[in-house]
Structure 1
Amino acid sequence: MALTSHERANKTPLEIVPSHSADVILPRQPGKTPLASQTVIVIGSSTGGTEALRTLLTALPAAMPPILVAQHMPEMFTHSFAQRLDSLCRLRVKEAEDNERLQAGTVYIAPGHSHLLIKSAPTIGYSTSLNNGPAVNRHKPSVDVLFRSAANLVGKNSIGVILTGMGRDGASGMLEMKQAGSWNIAQDEASCVVFGMPKEAIAMGGAHEVLALTSIAQRLVALAHQRQPSA
């Protein structure tokens, strides 16, 4: 049945969320020397990512560099997700808070209400920063934001991982990390629930390696050892 002119005038339009880039949160700062010697691992994931993260993180030893994770997930679930992983992993896993010093052997899960970034912390290396700005690539937390912060500050001392997920969030940020000297891994299509995010990162040239999910942990251990700079 057709709408009357009055009904058409009062019909609420669908809200369209704008697709911002990471520029709305932080500018790109290429060519900077890493501000600390600490190695940092950053991971991005979306659809299928909760189980992929469980598989990956439970396979890692406690002796690892700090790991920051941006998983697309509603705010009400990130705290319990971090608690569940903490009960399963040898690593300590927690929901990230603002201004926490990055500690080895700790995984920081981005809360569902904020972007998670790395920031420099005078005399202590790096710390977390939470930003409640606009969604990036229609997501908050955004993988591109986390990856750009790693590119800007950690550069060649960073390791990037992009796991299963829909869309392209993280593809641009992973390329920026590579251009800053990081080493990056994308999950392969066969082990992804949705190959969107890794596929886009690979297509943009941001990934050095494409690995099955079950091979990523062993590779991260080796990379963390190889790339750990001397104090």
Structure 2
Amino acid sequence: FAELALKVRAAAQAPRGLIGARPRHDPPAADFNPNGRIVAIGASTGGVDALMSVLSAFPAMCPPTVVVQHMPASFTKGFAQRLNQHCAAEVVEASNGMPLEPGRILIAPGGPAHLELRGRRRPVCLLSPGELQSGHRPSVDALFSSVAPLGERAVGVILTGMGRDGAAGLLRMRAAGAVTIGQNERTSLVYGMPRAAAEIGAVGQQLDLSVIPAAILAACSAEASRVDLAG
């Protein structure tokens, strides 16, 4: 009950426009050319709206993206379908062995498994049964830790959420050379996960939610640099 009360209080105190608001972005760039980086995003309380805002700003040919949003198993497929209706890119619930491809956003299914990545040349999804990590399954820490071996070929993003899930994994990603981004306190519904990550030095850039999509795409644009996944 204490956690529920905290969530309700945070929602009541959130800045107007963050809860249930329609994302307001310029149309995604049709000519965006990804550079090979993979994007991993973690979110919890408040993440439904935050993810809608970020992902709806991605172009159809967006960087390969994997997402863990803390959510009961019965809701993740519907969440992916809802996102798919509002995004230029394809959004689907991840399945075991599904490859990461430009233009596709994969949502971790709720349930008995963690979403992890396997493979360096052509990473694919692995649904790995296991115990809770950082109090959750699927866990953001499990995803980020599995992405860390890609080093500079990855971008890690931690959004609004309660607790510490994702902080340790994001630190591993940053230590390996990945670009890391955290949502700032002003625009977070609950500044728990981003704060925990920032406090241990895992966040390279701490940004307003409204500019996070542009920061991700800048890091993943072929105009900036090309990343060789075969390395």
Give the TM-score band, short-chain normalised.
Answer: 0.7 to 0.9
RMSD: 1.4
Confirm or deny that 1:149 pairs with 2:179.
no
TM-score (norm 1): 0.80
Q: For the residues of structure 1 that align with 2:73 and 2:40, how far apart are their CA atoms?
A: 20
Gaps (5+ residues) in structure 2?
A: 1-34
Q: For the residues of structure 2 that align with 1:96 and 1:210, how far apart are their CA atoms?
A: 28
- 1:41 partner amino acid: V
Confirm or deny that 1:84 pairs with 2:111.
no
1:119: which partner in 2? 118
CA contact (8 A) 1:157 1:227 kept: no
Aligned positions of 1:39-118 closer than 5 A: 39-113=37-111, 114-118=113-117
What is the CA deviation profile of residues 62-99 of structure 1, one whole-angstrom value per residue up to 9, with x for unaligned ones? Answer: 12211000110000000000000001100100000000
Cα deviation for residue 157 of structure 1 reads: 0.3
2:215: which partner in 1? 219
Q: Decide which of 216, 220, 226 is 1:228's aligned counterpart.
A: 226
TM-score (norm 2): 0.80
CA contact (8 A) 1:93 1:106 kept: yes
What is the CA deviation profile of residues 126-155 of structure 1, one whole-angstrom value per residue up to 9, with x for unaligned ones? Answer: 110001211101101100000000002x11
Q: For the residues of structure 1 that align with 2:161 and 2:226, how far apart are their CA atoms?
A: 29
What is the CA deviation profile of residues 98-143 of structure 1, one whole-angstrom value per residue up to 9, with x for unaligned ones? Answer: 001111111000000121001017xx61110001211101101100
Q: For the residues of structure 1 that align with 2:135 and 2:64, how far apart are their CA atoms?
A: 27
Aligned positions of 1:158-173 closer than 5 A: 158-173=154-169
Question: 3-state SS of the aligned residue for 2:186?
Answer: helix
Greater C-alpha Rg: 1
CA contact (8 A) 2:36 2:228 kept: no
Confirm or deny that 1:207 pairs with 2:200.
no
What is the CA deviation profile of residues 154-209 of structure 1, one whole-angstrom value per residue up to 9, with x for unaligned ones? Answer: 11100000000000000000000001100100000010000000000000001110
Q: For the residues of structure 2 that align with 1:227 and 1:214, how far apart are their CA atoms?
A: 24
- The size of the alignment, in residue pairs, is 192
Task: Flag as ranges the 4+ runs of structure 1 deviating above 4 A.
Answer: none
| Shift in CA distance, 188/99, structure 1 to aligned 2, threshold 3 Å | same
1:174: which partner in 2? 170
Gaps (5+ residues) in structure 1?
A: 1-36
Q: For the residues of structure 2 that align with 1:50 and 1:190, how far apart are their CA atoms?
A: 17
2:29: which partner in 1? none
Cα deviation for residue 227 of structure 1 reads: 4.5
Q: For the residues of structure 2 that align with 1:91 and 1:178, how far apart are their CA atoms?
A: 27
2:15: which partner in 1? none
Q: For the residues of structure 1 that align with 2:166 and 2:211, how far apart are their CA atoms?
A: 21
Confirm or deny that 1:131 pairs with 2:148.
no
Q: For the residues of structure 2 that align with 1:184 and 1:145, how far apart are their CA atoms?
A: 16
